[in-house]
């Protein structure tokens, strides 16, 4: 083949152009890759490993602590030298440390704010310079369904940072495993292991969720859960004054109205939907506003469907409770409701839920358990801490009488359940040595309101005997003088520091 002089020049020019374009493409690819690496480094450096020594109270022997255990979790640096993590990572913590990515040193940390409801906590490190080379991550928006997300953290099985990917598969109201609150949660199709807790879920370098404990009870595989941005922002705003106000509760309970017959019975038109009020608590914002058999139609601008859901977006439905959750304490909540077919509007002030709404208080953390030993019998208030002391399978292994109390509403006459947990064998309680987990309804014929009332009834008892009685009429009789006289000997015999918990009887 013969080339002319001109064709050779064209060929060389074309070759130079191709080489130049190739160089530009390679340079652009290199710049893009470097940018990705820099972004990845920025996120990795902001993810912190958290070490905790936890010593929780033993609710079977409430004057003692359980054996301290070492745990670890993850967190992410957010604004103002704060690290966002899970509440369960630092719950009942006696010592907390933080470790940066690719830094072998551990730095002592302290807890600034905790929301056990939302399973979120804020910690910080006072060591000078700890945050100087770290960039804070911003809180982003909830991803769209089927969008890919990245999960950062330090799961068990290794010491280095782990990065996994998953798809957002579901967003709805869930029972949070840590404290049992019913809040909005996201679900991704990736297993989340111990140690990942508190780590950020990332999209476009922003935190779109905080990994939390799985709440499927071990029945679901390859699923992970996270606290979504709306809940994170609520907690961050709540933390500004350092006081945990939590999420509001208007003080009423409802059931769904799926049945057309039920709708008609409560005066709804065919085009109306809502939820039926079945309980209004004394002392709540709803008292003297709603009545049983009212139908809640709307919360603010959210219409409530017959299954109790509201529409947050075209692709997202969740329980109407979320519309209340997003308010802060003291804000006004507008509720539209129907009574006997007539429609009304009420303006309620968002208030913190009262412990007295249910007979069994939810699980508490960083608190000293209450107890009272009288005549060698250990009496305690019933709460979820005690029930969960029966182990992970507490729903099957805890006594039925204690579990049933979880489904009962409180009332002014009975706000709390008192349990005779065990009997410390002694002469004064002869005949009752094998009694345990026994619910006390009456003391000398007077109904027990709560643990404080119960304790005062015993302390101020003027009778020769104290008679404890349950709802079936079974009785335990303790001689009052013998109980007082034998107290010191029983405490010494069983190595118990005091007959009652600190603060039970204020000076």
Residue 412, Cβ density class (10 Å: 0-12 exposed, 13-18 middle, ≥19 buried): exposed
**Beta carbons within 8 Å of 483's beta carbon, 6+ residues apart:** 374, 375, 376, 428, 466
| From 74, 115, 119, 327, the catalytic residue | 119
Phi, psi of 228 (to 5 degrees): -75, 165
Q: Supply 245's token pair.
A: 């106000």
Do residues 497 and 373 make contact, with C-beta atoms less than 8 angstroms apart? no
Q: Helix, strand, coil: what percent of the chain each, to 5? A: 25, 35, 45
Distance of alpha carbon 328 from alpha carbon 338, whole angstroms = 25
User: What does 300-320 look like in DSSP terms, one character per residue?
Assistant: TTEEPPTTSEEEEETTEEEET
Q: What is the DSSP letter of 394?
A: H
Do residues 147 and 169 make contact, with C-beta atoms less than 8 angstroms apart? no
Distances (CA, A) of 258 to 252, 300, 318, 343: 19, 22, 16, 20
Determine whether 427 is an active site residue. Answer: no
User: What does 132-144 look like in DSSP terms, one character per residue?
Assistant: TT--PPEE--PPP
| From 88, 116, 234, 322, the catalytic residue | 88
Do residues 251 and 277 make contact, with C-beta atoms less than 8 angstroms apart? no
Q: Is the dihedral of CA 462, 465, 470, 472 positive or negative?
A: negative
Annotate 29-62 with b (16+ C-beta within 10 A) or e (fewer).
eeeeeeeeeeeeeebebbbbbbbbebebbebebb
Determine whether 328 is an active site residue. Answer: no
Determine whether 301 is an active site residue. Answer: no
Residue 253 pairs in a beta bridge with 279
Instruction: Of 470, 480, 494, give the one whose Cα is nearest residue 374.
Output: 480
**Beta carbons within 8 Å of 380's beta carbon, 6+ residues apart:** 59, 62, 369, 370, 371, 372, 386, 418, 419, 421, 451
Instruction: Give the E-state strand segments of 176-325 in sequence order.
Output: 182-188, 200-203, 206-212, 224-227, 252-256, 275-280, 295-299, 302-303, 309-313, 316-319
**Beta carbons within 8 Å of 388's beta carbon, 6+ residues apart:** 363, 394
First to last CA, the chain: 111
Distance of alpha carbon 297 from alpha carbon 306, whole angstroms = 9
Phi, psi of 401 (to 5 degrees): -60, -35
Do residues 195 and 72 make contact, with C-beta atoms less than 8 angstroms apart? yes
| From 150, 197, 455, 501, the catalytic residue | 197
Q: Supply 254's token pair.
A: 């409802």
Residues annotated as catalytic (active site), given as ranges: 88, 119, 197
């Amino acid at each position: 083949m013969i080339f002319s002089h001109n064709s050779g020049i064209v060929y060389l020019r074309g070759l130079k152009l191709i080489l130049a374009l190739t160089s530009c493409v390679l340079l652009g690819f290199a710049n893009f890759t470097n940018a990705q690496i820099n972004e990845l480094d920025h996120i990795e450096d902001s993810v912190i490993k958290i070490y905790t020594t936890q010593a929780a109270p033993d609710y079977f022997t409430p004057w003692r602590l359980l054996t301290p255990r070492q745990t670890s979790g993850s967190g992410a640096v957010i604004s103002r030298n704060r690290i966002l993590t899970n509440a369960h990572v630092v719950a009942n913590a006696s010592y907390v440390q933080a470790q940066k990515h690719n830094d072998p040193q551990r730095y002592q940390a302290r807890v600034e704010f905790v929301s056990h409801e939302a399973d979120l906590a804020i910690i910080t490190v006072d060591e000078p310079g700890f945050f100087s080379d770290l960039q804070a991550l911003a809180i982003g928006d909830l991803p769209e369904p089927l969008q890919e997300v990245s999960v950062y953290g330090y799961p068990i099985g290794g010491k280095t940072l782990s990065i996994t990917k998953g798809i957002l598969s579901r967003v709805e109201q869930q029972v949070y495993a840590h404290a049992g609150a019913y809040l909005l949660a996201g679900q991704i199709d990736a297993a989340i292991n111990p140690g990942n807790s508190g780590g950020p879920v990332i999209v476009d370098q922003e935190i779109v969720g905080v990994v939390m404990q799985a709440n499927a009870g071990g029945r679901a595989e390859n699923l992970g859960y996270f606290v979504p941005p709306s809940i994170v922002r609520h907690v961050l705003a709540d933390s500004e004054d350092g006081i945990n106000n939590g999420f509001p509760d208007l003080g009423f309970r409802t059931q769904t109205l799926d049945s057309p017959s039920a709708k008609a019975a409560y005066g709804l038109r065919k085009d109306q939907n809502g939820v039926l009020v079945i309980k209004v608590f004394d002392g709540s914002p709803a008292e003297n506003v709603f009545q049983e058999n009212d139908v809640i139609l709307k919360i603010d601008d959210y219409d409530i469907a017959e299954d109790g859901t509201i529409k947050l977006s075209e692709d997202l439905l969740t329980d109407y409770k979320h519309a209340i959750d997003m308010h802060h304490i003291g804000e006004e909540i507008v509720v539209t409701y129907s009574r006997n077919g007539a429609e009304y509007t009420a303006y309620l002030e968002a208030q913190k839920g009262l412990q007295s709404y249910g007979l069994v208080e939810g699980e508490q953390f960083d608190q000293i358990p209450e107890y009272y030993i009288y005549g060698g019998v250990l009496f305690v208030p019933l709460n979820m801490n005690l029930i969960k002391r029966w182990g992970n399978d507490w729903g099957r292994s805890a006594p039925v009488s204690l579990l049933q109390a979880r489904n009962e509403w409180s009332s002014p006459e009975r706000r709390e359940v008192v349990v005779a947990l065990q009997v410390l064998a002694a002469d004064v309680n002869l005949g009752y040595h094998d009694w345990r987990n026994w619910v006390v309804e009456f003391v000398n014929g007077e109904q027990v309101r709560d643990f404080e009332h119960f304790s005062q009834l015993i302390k101020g008892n003027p009778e020769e005997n104290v008679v404890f009685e349950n709802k079936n009429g079974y009785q335990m009789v303790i001689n009052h003088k013998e109980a007082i006289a034998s107290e010191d000997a029983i405490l010494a015999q069983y190595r118990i520091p005091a007959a009652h918990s600190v603060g039970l009887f204020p000076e």
